[in-house]
Structure 1
Amino acid sequence: MSNSNLNRCILLIDDEPDLCRIVKVTLERLKGWTILTAYTGQDGFTIAQTQPLDLILLDLSLPDGNGLEWRQTLKTNIVTRSIPVILFTASNPADPTSTDELGGDGADNIAGVILKPFSVLQLADQICTQLHW
């Protein structure tokens, strides 16, 4: 067994507590990853500045702002800018194969898009594929 998937720490920023709980339990059981959750962009941003993260799963519709705006905040902060972000959304903001419409500028930290509804059992594989883990 490879050690590359061990000790991963992922932050899920989503305002749906049930979804957060399902993702957290599934990924922790399937992969042994640590899953942190935040229900607002501000809480997520605060956690991202204080915890070493391997990935942020970011919902696009949050109670305190658009997920793309929070992604921009993460991207421009010296502490959080290198953390990859996978957008986690029910509305397809763009073609998932292209992040140009999402404000991609070459040095972007959008690692991919996972559309809801998703299969929670396939989520870990989608993350691993998009991040080349």
Structure 2
Amino acid sequence: MTTILLVEDNELNRDMLSRRLTRQGYQVVTAADGGEALARASDSAPDLILMDLSLPVIDGWEATRRLKADDATRRIPVIALTAHAMSGDREQAMAAGCDDFDTKPVELPRLLQKIAALLGEQGGGQ
């Protein structure tokens, strides 16, 4: 089963997206801040990370930089998620090491396409 690490500080958003991804066949591990994300990425070895950029403790940009600098986690694809879709945010996320970028509120069909593309999947998270 494909494991996704969902990093989101808003409990309601984290719960809702986690349930939606689980219904699509993914196993979901969650983290509420950037520090927790680094620990979860190390101990759960997810197949993909959905990274909110505006996080407490360590923001999503810095957490992604650290993940991509670590031999153990650098190959895990990271999709940045942000409600702040300002000009330059996508470029900044990609420069930090994100593999893709999506905006919130999440449009699940679009996000699932991005997840599948990065994982080389045909369908859901079988």
| Superposition TM-score, scaled by structure 1 size | 0.79
Q: Where do 1:1-133 residues align within 5 Å?
A: 7-30=1-24, 32-92=25-85, 94=88, 96=90, 99=91, 101-102=92-93, 104=95, 109-133=97-121
**What is the CA–CA distance in structure 1 between the aligned matches of 2:81 and 2:94, rounded to whole Å?**
16
Alignment size in residue pairs? 120
Can you list the C-alpha shifts for 1:96-131, whole angstroms capped at 9, x where unaligned?
4xx4x4463xxx842200101122354323322455
**What is the CA–CA distance in structure 2 between the aligned matches of 1:18 and 1:57, rounded to whole Å?**
16
Give the root-mean-square deviation of aligned CA atoms: 2.1
Contact 1:11–1:57, Cα closer than 8 Å, also in 2: yes
**Bigger radius of gyration among the two:** 1
Structure 1 gap segments, 5+ residues each: 1-6
Contact 1:60–1:68, Cα closer than 8 Å, also in 2: yes
Q: Matched residues, percent identical?
A: 32
| Superposition TM-score, scaled by structure 2 size | 0.83
Displaced runs of 4+ in structure 1, greater than 6 A? none
Structure 2 gap segments, 5+ residues each: 122-126
**What is the CA–CA distance in structure 1 between the aligned matches of 2:21 and 2:38, rounded to whole Å?**
21
